[in-house]
Structure 1
Amino acid sequence: MPIEYARFTNVPSRTENVPIENAQFTNVPAGAQKVSIENVRFTNVPSGAQKVPIENAGFTNVPAGAQKVPIENARFTNVPAGSQNELIENAGFTNVPAGAQKVPIENARFTNVPAGSQNELIENAGFTNVPAGSQNELIENAGFTNVPAGAQNELIENARFTNVPAGAQKVPIENAGFTNGPAGAQKVPIENAGFTNGCAGGQNELIENAGFTMGTVR
């Protein structure tokens, strides 16, 4: 079946020859390594994919051969050292190299944000392990992992959270993506939500166009 705008984790081997456009994959099967990759998000990309054209792609553990690729609107995790001086606009980085900490950051997604960026303007940004200094920032359309305690009363719309703090469990949640959601969130309306290791109590929730990784306990 053609897969457009799909999110996959641990893709079954039978899909390895399927056209992949705007798809998100985790642990892509070896058979998919020669597929044309446009606007695709990969985690643990197979070594055979390192020479594939990478445009608007999201990668985790980018292979060494990709480190000189032009990076525009790209999402990277564990960015190779060779890219630390690249122009970073609309980019998503995890473990940003030290050399990138003074780069203008607009619409960027960071994991383990360097200390030097904690006072940056944060709009439409996705952060993981947000530095303490940013906990009072304006947070709209933001993606957070391990949100600092000070952020738990912020306005949270269209936000993505991983390990949401207990204080956030009553926040209005629309189009939100949660990873390891708090127990108190299990009765929240969930539309177009993406869950990773969803909360046990959420197994009977209304789920429309949702993406799950290791779904809830039945």
Structure 2
Amino acid sequence: MSWESRARYADMAQVEPSWYDDALYEWVAMPAIDVPSGAASAEDPAPQTDAAMSYRVRSGAYLGEGEVLWSEWSERSEAVAPSSPPAPPSIVYPPAGSVCAVDATFAEGLPAGPAVRWRHNPLDGSAQTSAEVRWSFDGKVRGTRPCGPEMSAEASLPLSGVDVYALAESLGERVYTEDWELAVRTKGASGEWSGWAAVRVRLARMPRAWFEEPS
């Protein structure tokens, strides 16, 4: 925040942050922020992340022996919408520990794998603007999938650049017997990523049966 001071002999200033309490329908003042002499801007070190903020400023002249002559508080600033990175999303599907079927699609012949669904968890109330899905196996990232503003997306294995059949040829059957890590992160209005939310799942091929007799 910044302001213009017209005090001729001011030695210091204070900024008073306030947050709006929707239950009480009033502004709640927080401890004032001391501003060095000559400064005309300040940063709020601890703004509320779930309520609108407003600020007012006053100038002070030091009189000696710890006494300060303060001006009246300025008019309150316009309300500022909070903006902060979201909390890690909640992965709705697949659940942790589940076994997800890997089957070939008719269109491309690639393993389809599970679709991924999650819930965006904003701290500032803003909607999801983008998301990223990451598949990892054996300590390495095997594929990622950027997603748009929708709350969940089709982010299956082939869309994330993962061909499980090809991976099984190089790493063997443990692709189907050891855990995969599925992780998701999201962005909101702040433009900063949330932390990763992750679950561990296993992949399994669909069983197949055929007749030996009669052939």
TM-score, with structure 2 as normaliser: 0.19
* Bigger proportion of residues as strand: 2
Q: What TM-score do the two structures reach when normalised by structure 1?
A: 0.19
Query: Highest Rg: 1 or 2?
Result: 2
